[in-house]
Amino acid sequence: MSSTVGQVIRCKAAVAWEAGKPLVIEEVEVAPPQKMEGQNAVFPRILGHEAAGIVESVGEGVTELAPGDHVLPVFTGECKDCAHCKSEESNMCSLLRINTDRGVMINDGQSRFSINGKPIYHFVGTSTFSEYTVVHIGCVAKINPLAPLDKAAEGARIAGASRIIGVDLNASRFEQAKKFGVTEFVNPKDYSKPVQEVIAEMTDGGVDRSVECTGHIDAMISAFECVHDGWGVAVLVGVPHIEAVFKTHPMNLLNERTLKGTFFGNYKPRSDIPSVVEKYMNKELELEKFITHTLPFAQINKAFDLMLKGEGLRCIITMEN
């Protein structure tokens, strides 16, 4: 195969032309990376924020990566120069923090994708629903080349606990949840009272720790109000609607419950993600049980259908070539 370094690449991508419509597989043109890889744009754009791939080429000034390297594009970056990146307490990079409105590259304010000369905008700096994408160097984590690319973009850890209570509106999820160590299951639809009250009764006052992953504001409030006073900690992981408002009585805080959030697991992507991949390579992480389906790129909309029906946990999309 002849080299494509420095050239415009034609490839297939799943383009979102408008909200609420299926993605459309289109042939797009991808401009080569510029130095150190704004206006606002929403549609059309190429979505996708989880992937693993191989470097095809690099732009001017890039010394950490070379063609052939195995990498993970990530939706939040690490410039290594700002106050957040230099802090051991934060991974909220000032330059490359996730931005759903920015549809262009930081370097020159332009998109690298186009169809017939019309720009197709980027999504959270990654746009991984494309056979080729262009990503800022700060949003790429170089990983072990022996790591299988279909699993390297996943990660999870369950710390030892005597009871792990899963909460979901989909009862069929309980059997799946058992594989991850869940010992009990609560479906809020089975009760006439708030689920936080149900859990408090089950646990003699509340759980020690809770983690909320859906981003639904009611679930977030329940996750906080179900932790035990005095020492309980609730961690919010899911991303809520932009207009959602978190409401709880101040006494829930004054009674020494702790509410906190986490972004990307508090990992610095370039510094920390390679070590997570090594944990998988050393069999410290079991990722296969997360994967319920593997589909070709042409069936990407089916993957969304499976997710919306509650039938899939993680679906791997493979590029045909």
Residue 160 has pLDDT above 80, yes or no: no
Concatenated DSSP letters for 56-119?
Answer: ----TT--S--TT-EEEE-SS---SSSHHHH-SS----TTT---SSB-S-TTTS--SEEETTEE
Of 150, 185, 205, the position where a domain reaches its end is: 150
| Same domain membership, residue 125 and residue 14 | yes
Of 150, 177, 208, the position where a domain reaches its end is: 150
What is the pLDDT at residue 218?
A: 96
Among 142-146, 148-152, 316-320, whose mean pLDDT is lowest? 148-152
What is the pLDDT at residue 39?
A: 36
Q: Three-state SS for 318? A: strand
Where do we find the tokens 């095809």?
56
pLDDT in tens, 78-124: 999 999 999 998 999 999 888 777 888 888 889 999 999 999 999 98
Secondary structure element (H or E) that encloses residue 273, with its range:
helix 269-281
Contact predicate 79/138, CB 8 Å: yes
| Same domain membership, residue 214 and residue 120 | no
- % of the chain at pLDDT higher than 70: 92
232: containing domain? 165-263
Among 65-79, 119-133, 145-159, 295-309, whose mean pLDDT is lowest? 145-159
Tokens encoding 100: 């759903």
Contact predicate 298/318, CB 8 Å: no
Mean pLDDT across the stretch 297-321? 88
Task: Indicate the burial class of 281 (C-beta count within 10 angstroms; 0-12, 13-18, 19 or more).
Answer: middle
Which CATH number covers residue 191?
Answer: 3.40.50.720
Residue 162 has pLDDT above 90, yes or no: no
